[in-house]
Amino acid sequence: MFTHNKRLQYTVRVGAGNPGLANLLLEQFGGPQGELAAAMRYFTQAVGEEDPGRKDMLFDIATEELSHLEIIGSLVAMLNKGAKGELAEAVDEQAELYRKLNGAGNDSHLTQLLFGGGPPLVNSGGVPWTAAYIDTIGEPTADLRSNIAAEARAKIIYERLINVSDDPAVRDALGFLMTREVSHQKSFEKALYAISPNFPPGKMPPVPQFANVYYKMSEGGETVAAPWNSGRGLGIRQGEPAVDGGDGSATVQLDATQKAACVAMETRLMSDPTIDPETGAELGAAAVDTDVVDGGTEQPTKGGAV
Ligand code: MN
Ligand code: MN
């Protein structure tokens, strides 16, 4: 069950209204690296988790992410509050109100007009939140790695938001949210290493002859020798087709009925490379001296007449 504590996890003090900044902060409210995505990612993983310790951790972090959603949503609401009141009560002349919503790089018209200054579940570009942001696959050795990467991305978005915020109190709250994502990254990494073995993800072992190979798939220029392509368990090899030793083609065994249908289809759709039909695009084009164009065997006479 859930209960709601009436106090935020971190106090939100906003120095002055700033609808443009509020719009940018929506990235962490309804965006792919945002708090709702994080909360739903860990909540759904927690529900399906069997390991008691990991289940506990996932519910704790999911619940904390909801608390972060409340903080970032409150920041958006406070940054929009003054403008929201002015818009609702139409205190300014139209032109003045328009300037406040759109002036000086402030593109908050979407939040203001459509959502009345409240925090909508969209990203900073107005794209609606979607469950497609969550890539859970139900295998902790894969999901924990994805969670680590998700926390890394969330940390980077907060860092960028701090860089564009000039309000010290907003920067302070964003700094807390950014820091917590670093802490979550640590927990997920430790939870991953608490599973042994955890690599490769899942149970099935890789095919030995391909597992430790780095295929060099580029031509023209030397490959930089590095740990990710050679040494300690990895060997570099020039990429080549049919590494299985086969002929590199694609085949399938079909029954007689399917085989007959495919032959009929291929016969019907077979191309004839010997015909050169006129296309619609060519019908309106100026006449061309074909002997010159196709480099024909006949020598074109002067003036183009043959
Ligand atoms: Mn968070
Ligand atoms: Mn987090």
- The 3-class secondary structure across the chain, one letter per residue, is CCCCCCCCCCCCCCCCCCHHHHHHHCHHHHCCCCHHHHHHHHHHHHHHCCCHHHHHHHHHHHHHHHHHHHHHHHHHHHHHHHHHHHHHHCCCCHHHHHHHHHCCCCCCHHHHHHHCCCCCCECCCCCECCHHHCCCCCCHHHHHHHHHHHHHHHHHHHHHHHHHCCCHHHHHHHHHHHHHHHHHHHHHHHHHHCCCCCCCCCCCCCCHHHHCEEEECCCCCCCCCCCCCCECCEEEEECCCCCCCCCCCCCCCCCHHHHHHHHHHHHHCCCCCCCCCCCHHHHCCCCCCHHHHCCCCCCCCHHHCC
- What mean pLDDT is reported for the chain? 89
User: How sure is the predictor about 50, in pLDDT bands with cuts at 50, 70 and 90?
Assistant: very high
Looking at residue 30, what is its pLDDT? 96
Say how many Å lie between the CA of residue 50 and the centre of ligand 1: 24
Q: What's the Rg (C-alpha) of the chain? A: 31
* Residue 245 within any structural domain of the chain: no
| In the chain, % of residues over pLDDT 70 | 88
pTM: 0.82
Say how many Å lie between the CA of residue 39 and the centre of ligand 2: 8
104, 234: one domain: no
Give helix 168-193 / helix 140-164 axis angle, nearest 10°: 160
Say how many Å lie between the CA of residue 134 and the centre of ligand 2: 14
161, 228: one domain: no
83, 217: one domain: no
**Ligand in closest contact with the CA of 68:** 1
Say how many Å lie between the CA of residue 254 and the centre of ligand 2: 51
85, 215: one domain: no
Rounded average pLDDT over 174-195? 98
Q: For position 86, which CATH number holds?
A: 1.20.1260.10
> Final residue of a domain: which of 159, 193, 227?
193
On the question of pLDDT at 167 being above 60, the answer is yes
Q: Sign of the CA dihedral 17, 36, 105, 168? A: positive
On the question of pLDDT at 2 being above 80, the answer is yes
Q: Sign of the CA dihedral 136, 142, 148, 154? A: negative
* Residue 14 within any structural domain of the chain: no
Asked which of 73-87, 180-194, 251-265 is least confident by mean pLDDT, the reply is 73-87
* Residue 262 within any structural domain of the chain: no
114, 160: one domain: yes
* Residue 140 within any structural domain of the chain: yes
Say how many Å lie between the CA of residue 119 and the centre of ligand 2: 20
Say how many Å lie between the CA of residue 166 and the centre of ligand 1: 21
224, 97: one domain: no
Rounded average pLDDT over 106-131? 78
* Residue 89 within any structural domain of the chain: yes
234, 116: one domain: no
53, 167: one domain: yes
168, 72: one domain: yes
82, 217: one domain: no
**Ligand in closest contact with the CA of 150:** 2
User: How sure is the predictor about 285, in pLDDT bands with cuts at 50, 70 and 90?
Assistant: confident
31, 160: one domain: yes
Say how many Å lie between the CA of residue 160 and the centre of ligand 1: 15
* Residue 92 within any structural domain of the chain: yes
Say how many Å lie between the CA of residue 291 and the centre of ligand 2: 70
> Final residue of a domain: which of 164, 193, 222?
193
144, 221: one domain: no
* Residue 277 within any structural domain of the chain: no
The domain total for the chain is 2
Q: Which domain covers residue 49, as residue numbers? A: 19-193
* Residue 25 within any structural domain of the chain: yes
How far is residue 224's CA from residue 172's CA, in Å, rounded to a whole number? 43
On the question of pLDDT at 33 being above 80, the answer is yes
